Amino acid sequence: VLADALGTEPATEPVPVFGQSGEQRRRGAEAMLLKRVGVLPHGLFNSVEAVGPDGVRLVEYLDWLSERAATLGGDGYRPRFHVDVYGMLGELFGPPYDRAAVTGYVRELRAAAAPYPLQIEGPMDAGSREAQIDAMAELRDGLADAGVAVDIVADEWCDSRADVEAFVDAGAADVVQVKTPDVGGLLESGRAARYCAGTDTRAYVGGTCNETTVSARRCAHVALATDAAQVLAKPGMGFDAGYAAVSNEMRRTLARHRAAVGPGDAA
């Protein structure tokens, strides 16, 4: 129904689920790795103390995460690392964000996470939507010029559908979070995610841990309908319950769809 209303071609496989660890950064990440989660671990790096002096703790964490992924994930498992830093890169470095000190630090993060792809959410909080777009675009361009293959995720100042569209139009992010409670309504969230189609920005159907199982399951349908890049495991930050709610809903939905279409028919 959502795909028809949005004019999209829905996903035929489950959308990668993004697990969130809360402050249980190591224990939560290991639980995710054992379940071979597609995107992890969020990490809640929401203070200078959490990222460490000069960002050293975040580097050490990604190095540990890479080692544990190789050990626990097994052959053929290639998750995407996604850490939310709540503007802490801006706290550590400040503008301009395309200078060597900033790109050099992100290069350290890239090396620590290797060989797994890395994306960083909310690198700075510039104080307004316009300033945030300028700062994010500056960082993205600086990383591209420096050859640092790290994706930047828009979160701060990217709340409404108009905000999502502004970030996409400006090329200010590799990924935009569609914060479903803020965007408002399933169709509005779907329209925001759909806006990324045909651009070099990917849609992340997110939200907050402070939701319900009902809203989490409905958001799974938005992710499937728009074939989003990833969908948040919610509610809660204990990981297992939210992961089960979202992933099981997608699997049930796709199984029902395949049964309804029948063998040999187009999906």
> What is the mean predicted confidence (pLDDT) over 92-96?
96
Q: What are the domain boundaries of the chain?
A: 2-261
What distances in angstroms separate CA 53 from CA 82, 90, 124, one per listed residue? Answer: 21, 13, 17
Residues acting as catalytic residues: 179
Strands (E), 103-154: 118-121, 151-154
Kindly report, residue by residue over 3-13, the tens digit of the pLDDT.
999 999 999 99
Looking at per-residue confidence, does 235 or 266 come out higher?
A: 235
Kindly report, residue by residue over 26-37, the tens digit of the pLDDT.
999 999 999 999
- In which band, very low, low, confident or very high, does the pLDDT at 232 lie, cut at 50, 70 and 90? very high
Hey, how many other C-beta atoms are within 10 angstroms of the C-beta on 14?
Answer: 19
Beta carbons of 123 and 89 less than 8 angstroms apart: yes
Cβ neighbours for 255, distance < 8 A, ≥ 6 positions apart: none
Kindly report, residue by residue over 45-85, the tens digit of the pLDDT.
999 999 998 999 999 999 999 999 999 998 999 999 999 99
pLDDT at 229 over 90: yes
- In which band, very low, low, confident or very high, does the pLDDT at 264 lie, cut at 50, 70 and 90? low
**67 vs 72: CA distance, rounded Å:** 9
The CATH homologous superfamily for domain 2-261 is: Enolase-like C-terminal domain (3.20.20.120)
The residue type of 258 is: R
pLDDT at 131 over 70: yes
Backbone φ and ψ for 66, nearest 5 degrees, come out as -60, -40
**39 vs 37: CA distance, rounded Å:** 6
pLDDT for res 262: 73
pLDDT at 263 over 70: no
pLDDT for res 237: 87
**96 vs 106: CA distance, rounded Å:** 14
> What is the mean predicted confidence (pLDDT) over 102-123?
98
> What is the mean predicted confidence (pLDDT) over 11-19?
97
Strands (E), the chain: 17-18, 39-42, 80-84, 118-121, 151-154, 175-178, 202-205, 230-232
Q: Is 255 helix (H, G, I), strand (E, B) or coil?
A: helix
**81 vs 87: CA distance, rounded Å:** 18
Hey, how many other C-beta atoms are within 10 angstroms of the C-beta on 241?
Answer: 15
Cβ neighbours for 36, distance < 8 A, ≥ 6 positions apart: 73, 74, 77, 79
Question: Whose structure tokens read 């809903």?
Answer: 249
CA atoms within 13 A on the CB side of 145: 13
Hey, how many other C-beta atoms are within 10 angstroms of the C-beta on 265?
Answer: 8
- In which band, very low, low, confident or very high, does the pLDDT at 265 lie, cut at 50, 70 and 90? low
Kindly report, residue by residue over 141-189, the tens digit of the pLDDT.
999 999 999 999 999 999 999 999 999 999 999 999 999 999 988 999 9
Question: Whose structure tokens read 């293959």?
Answer: 149
Cα 231 to the center of its chain, rounded Å: 7
Kindly report, residue by residue over 181-219, the tens digit of the pLDDT.
999 889 999 999 999 999 999 999 999 989 999 999 999
- In which band, very low, low, confident or very high, does the pLDDT at 238 lie, cut at 50, 70 and 90? confident
